[in-house]
Chains A and B, each alone.
Chain A
C-alpha cells in the first residue's frame, strides 16, 4: 500500500514538473483575470482578518476592564423555582463535582425597600467571608447583616429590628430579625444584599433552596455542567428555570459580551466569503470558457485527468496564494494604521491567519471545482470545436448540445 502511494505520488510529481510551467505561463499571460481573482481573495482575507483583529482586540480590552468575580465556588446556578433534591444530586453527579451546596435567595419587602435577602450556610457567613464596616456576622437565627449603603439610605442602626415580609399563598407572612452588623459578602454575586442564616430564612417563609453553589475545580467540568443543564432544562419541566448566573472567567465573560456585538459582523464576514467564492468562480469559469480550445488541444495531446487537475488547480491555487499574501499584508497594514491613528484596539493572532489561509483554500477549491470538472468530463472534440460542455456529457442535453451547459 505504501509502495503504491509512493509510486502514485511520484507519478503526480512527474506530471507536476511538466504541467507547472504551463500554469505559471498561463497566469502571467492572463494577468488581468489572475489579478482580479487574487484581489477578490485578498479583499475577503482583509475583511476576515480585520474583523478577527477587532474582535480579539475588543475582547482583550473588555477583559482588561472586567474584574474577576470572587465566588465561593466555580459556578452559581439559580432557579426561578425551588431546586428539588433530585436535580441537586443530578448536578452533583456530573463531571467530578467536588461539592454542590444549596442556598436560598428570597425577594422580600423590608424596611429598606424590596430587595433580595440571602440565606447562607454558616461557613459562608464566617468572619472574613463577610466584610464588615461595623458589628459582627450573624451567629444565630434571627440576626442579619445589612449592606452599609443600604443601611445609610434607610437610616438603620445596629441592634435595630429589621422586618421582613413576603406573600405566601396570598397571605402576608412577617419575620423579624435584628441587625447585628453592616457590611457585605466578599463574594461578588452575594454582595449588596442583606445576609442571614439559611435556616432562619427557610423557616420564616417555608422556602426551599433555589441557588446551588458548585465547586467543579476544572473548566472542562464547568462546561460539562453547563451542557448538562441545557439538556436538563429540555428534559425536566422542574428544571426549566435553571440558569448559570456567574461567568467562569473574565475573559470568557468578555468574550460573550463581545460575541453579541459581533454576531452580525460574523454574518457579514461569511457573506463576504460567499461573494468572494462566487466572484472567483465567475472569473475561473470565464477563463475556462475562453480557453476551451487550448484545453481541448492539451487533452488531444495526451493530458490525462491528473494533468488537468494539477494544471487548473495550480493556476487557481497560485492566484489564491497571491490573494492570501496580499490580503494578510493589507490587513496587517490596516491594523497598524488603525491602532496608531484611532482609539480602536485591534490585535492579530495566529488563528485568524490560519483561518484566512483555510478560507482562501476553501474559496479556491470550491470555485475551481466546476471548471476542473467540466474540463475533465468534456469530450475532447467538444472542447476543440468550442461547443457547449456539460457536467454530464452522457445526458440527453449534452447529446443534443443546443442549449444548457456551459
Chain B
C-alpha cells in the first residue's frame, strides 16, 4: 500500500477511525443500519461491539473491513481513507492489514486446514518456505498442528473457528475483525476462541474488534461499545 495515501498518520494515532459512518439500505422506507458512527480504535486495543440483533454491529464491522461501501462518512485505517481506494486497492488493504473471523468460519471447503491458513500468505506473495513455516507456527499456536491436513468438513465447529483465527492472523495484520466468532459455537469453544484472541492481542499487540452478543466476554475487552439502532449508545472502559 502506497504511503502517499497515509495522510498525516503518526504512530500512536488511532489505527482505525470512522467519521460519521452511515449505511442506509433503501428497503421499504429505507433502513439505516449504521447511523453517523464515529469511533477511534487505538493500536493494540481489544474492543467488543455488543448490542441486540439488528443494531448494526455486523454492518459496522463490514464497513470497517472494507467489505461494503458506506452511504456516507469515512473509514480510515492507518491514515488511508477507504473512499479513495478502488476495489483492488481495498482488496490489497484487506490482504495486508486486516484479518477476518466470521460467525460461520467461512473456511474454503476445497482446501485443507493448512492450505486455508497458507492462502492469504500465498496471495501476498510470501516465499513458499516462509509460508510453510508460518502455517505450522499458527496451527501450533491454535493447537491444531495434528489436524493440518484435514478438510474443514472433518473438523468440529470449534476447530474450524480456530483454523479461521489462524488464517486471519496469517499475514500478521494490524487489525483483526471478528463478526460473532462465537455465535456458532458452544460456550466452552466460544470461550476458547475469545481467549485465543486475547492471547494474540497480548502477545503480538494486534488490534481486535469483536462483534458479539455475549456481554460476558466484556472482561477480556479494553473497551465495550454498545450499539442500538445503528448508533453507539454507550462505551465502557474508555472514550469513543
Residues of A within 8 A of B (CB): 14, 18, 22, 25-26, 29, 293-294, 296-305, 307, 376, 379-382, 384, 396, 399-402
Contacts and interface: CB of A to CB of B under 8 A. Distances in A.
Given A401-B25, A401-B27, A301 B120 contact: yes
B122 interface: yes
B91 A297 contact: no
- In terms of DSSP, what is the predominant structure of the interface of chain A? helix
A300 B123 contact: no
Interface stretch (B75-83, B94-102, B186-194): B94-102
Contacts of B92: 302, 304
Given A297-B106, A307-B123, A381-B68, A302 B26 contact: no
B123 A302 contact: yes
A226 to B, nearest CB: 54
Interface of B: 25-27, 62, 65-69, 87-88, 91-92, 94-96, 100, 102, 104, 106-111, 119-120, 122-125, 167
Given A302-B95, A304-B88, A400 B67 contact: no
A400 B29 CA distance: 10
Given A401-B25, A402-B27, A22 B110 contact: yes
Given A14-B125, A22-B108, 5 more contacts: A22-B110, A22-B111, A301-B94, A301-B119, A304-B87
5 contacts: A301-B94, A302-B95, A379-B67, A380-B68, A381-B68
B10 to A, nearest CB: 26
Nearest to B100: A300
Contacts of A14: 125
Given A302-B95, A303-B91, A379-B68, A293 B106 contact: yes
Nearest to B171: A302
Nearest to A380: B67
Nearest to A18: B122
Contact of A302 (B91, B108, B111): B91
A351 to B, nearest CB: 39
Contact of A400 (B26, B68, B91, B120): B26
Nearest to A298: B108
A294 B109 CA distance: 8
Contacts of A18: 122-123, 125
B120 A302 contact: yes
Contacts of A380: 62, 66-68
